[in-house]
Amino acid sequence: MSRTATDHRIHGDAAAGAVWAVLLVLGIAVTTLGVALVANPSSSADTLAILVGLALVLSGITEVLAAGRATEPALAAVFGVLLVVGGIVALAWPDVTLWTLAIVVGVSLMVAGLIRLVIAAAAPAGEPGRGRAVAVAILCVAAGIVAVSWPSATVFVLAVVFGIWVIVHGVTQILLALGLRRALQASH
């Protein structure tokens, strides 16, 4: 049974409609976790590991969902998967020492940030959001460097640095979701 072009457009719009809504909800959840990290920087290492793990997993899922719209979808998906893996490690190892948590988070952020920077650099020069993508990638790498180079930092420093990155990432995903929604509305 073959589908007409109209059938493909309708099914594609439905899928895109679901993606923007999921991105919006996940973006709000990620932003909320970032605010929780910044608002409670003196949490115990166990609590921090759980919050960081959840934030990484949700951030990674949003990246994988948004990968189809990236100029380099495979790299964008790898970026998301790396965040999810880092989050799973933090969640599976909640009694980890702060030093180990800083290394896991730092390496995840640096690698993911570098991949995101490659994706942003590969985007056409006039593409909307390219500058924001570069800025977020640089922030991601910088946060990773801080976490790795200062692993003996207190819970406070790690929570604040990572919390700020998570807030920026969550807001970026919210903006992406709203942009996708506007594009869908304009296509009708």
CB 157 within 8 A of CB 143: no
State what percent of residues in the chain have pLDDT above 70.
81
What are the tokens at 112?
């993911």
Q: What is the pLDDT of residues 80-136, one digit of tens each?
A: 898 898 888 888 876 666 677 778 778 888 888 888 888 888 878 777 778 888 888
Q: Which domain holds residue 149?
A: 5-186
Q: How far apart are CA 81 and CA 103, in angstroms?
A: 18
Three-state SS for 126? coil
Predicted pLDDT of residue 28: 93
Q: Domains in the chain: how many in total?
A: 1
Confidence of residue 16 (pLDDT cuts 50, 70, 90): low
Chain mean pLDDT for the chain: 78
The string over 128-139, giving b where at least 16 C-beta atoms fall within 10 Å of a residue's C-beta and e elsewhere, is eebeebbebbeb
Predicted pLDDT of residue 186: 85
Best CA proximity match to 78, nearest among 114, 37, 50? 114
CB 102 within 8 A of CB 147: yes
Report the range of poorest mean pLDDT among 12-16, 69-73, 92-96, 144-148.
12-16
Q: How far apart are CA 60 and CA 166, in angstroms?
A: 11
What's the burial of 149, exposed, middle or buried (CB within 10 Å: 0-12/13-18/19+)? exposed
CA angle centred on 41, ends 131 and 79, rounded to 5°: 35
Q: How far apart are CA 125 and CA 120, in angstroms?
A: 9
Predicted pLDDT of residue 153: 64
